[in-house]
Structure 1
Amino acid sequence: MTNLNIQFRNRIGFPEYEPITFDNLATVLEKSAKSIPFENLCIIANRTNEITKENLINKIISNNEGGLCYELNGILHIFLLENGFDAKLIYGVVYDHNNQRWSTTGRSHVANIITHNGKKYLVDTGFGANLPLKPVPLTGEIITSSNGEFRVEKAQTEQGNYILYIKLKYKDAVWKIGYAFDTTKAITDYSELNNVQKIIMEHPESSFNKKPLITQLTDKGSVILTDNSVTEWIDGKVEKQDIDPKGYKDLAKNYFGIQA
């Protein structure tokens, strides 16, 4: 077993020597979502590094940081391969519900597709608080987790050939589009993720280059921290508090274990 395999398990609290199988992959995804925050602090601080396998391991495992979709799903991809999964990284386009259109940042979402017993599944640990927490088959079958209901349907669009639909527990009364993705164009090298990072850093309509954001799922819901507020979802009830920007760093450390 490699150091990365052991270190990732330790990072998320999964037993070192328990085999990772398709049957317990949901446990890996849930533990990852509750251990590794979705955050853009390196983007905001302008201290990003080139995306390489080594740098992903250093950031998320060695330095105990979180990351955005391309980093979180990038490190998960490495871990899946280490444990014998047939996995590939793919691009997606997030749906912008505020403006009722596909995101103008284009194919800037990154997720995993795994193949198990000839069947393909979407596996995503980098979609903020909107995570399925289980592999979602590309068949339209509805998957239910502690975070809500999720399904993937085939749909030929300019954005890709499948669409993820989500209905978050306590939050969504009806199904909504999460993102479209393309299974025909796999990411073949981690260096390709630098293009995604560049878009997120520089695009004027990127939602991640304006102000700091940290979010993570919890046993009872989720927590979201910005430089001026903290929002907690606890058993379906939301509590939001304005905060003093001076206290932001303390809250980042207390809630997420991150040095902001």
Structure 2
Amino acid sequence: MTTGELLDRTFALYREHFGLFFGITALPHLFSFALGLFANPLRIYLGLNFLGWVWLGALISVLVGAVAHAATVMAVSEIYLDRTTGVIDAYSKVQFNIVGVILLSLLVAMGAGLGAFFFVVPGILLALKWSLVVPVAVLEDQGIIDSMSRSASLTKGYRWRVFVIWILFFALSLSMTLLFQWPVQIATASAITHHARYLFPWLNAASTLLKFISACLAGPLATIAFSLLYYDLRVRKEAFDLQYMMDALDSMASSSAQPSSVLT
């Protein structure tokens, strides 16, 4: 697939299986939604200052994203291989990978984040190299180090494609978030101007709900794209489709041979 074809396929899958991908993303994000609703009481209860709360929010965001990422990858894989799947089915198939994916996501986020903080370009390069770590970990059942190495190997020679995908879906996600938050920001500014502090809890609830909806709408897209890219690169570099067909034929041959062996 060209990059354009990959993007077309991404949006086609998203439209055809909208309920599936929305449900997969929504399930773990319900935790973030509940946390956002009670942000101020929780922050006071935990004794966190604003910066501490921001760091906690970032950590939870990575955890929630990792869980949704793993299940979305599995769902895309099942669709790619012409199998039926659902929200619960996708999560049940990755339940033993969740802890590893969370640790892997934290490590990648820290590595790319530190690289970007001290030297911008190395951070970006690391993020591009490790863009396929979750598909590798989930679909090939690889460990943390092996997943990072495998992702670097698969993306080698194709990192400009990875960069284009990242930029496109980052811009799309940011635009959707701003679009959803725009009415709340206007209402908040108006409430501050008119000293209507009694509206703040309601505005916070509305903001949290809109963040939840925008995350569920935009969140699956990049994961779908990178899952398809994973398979595309395997086809290009390893003739995955041919190998899959051969394995399927071998399986059919062995199953058809079973009754004859019983008869003899």
Fold conserved (TM > 0.5)?
no
Q: TM-score, normalised by structure 1?
A: 0.28
Which of structures 1 and 2 has the bigger CA Rg? 2
Select the structure with the greater relative contact order (CA < 8 A; seq sep ≥ 6). 2
Higher strand share: 1
More helix by share: 2
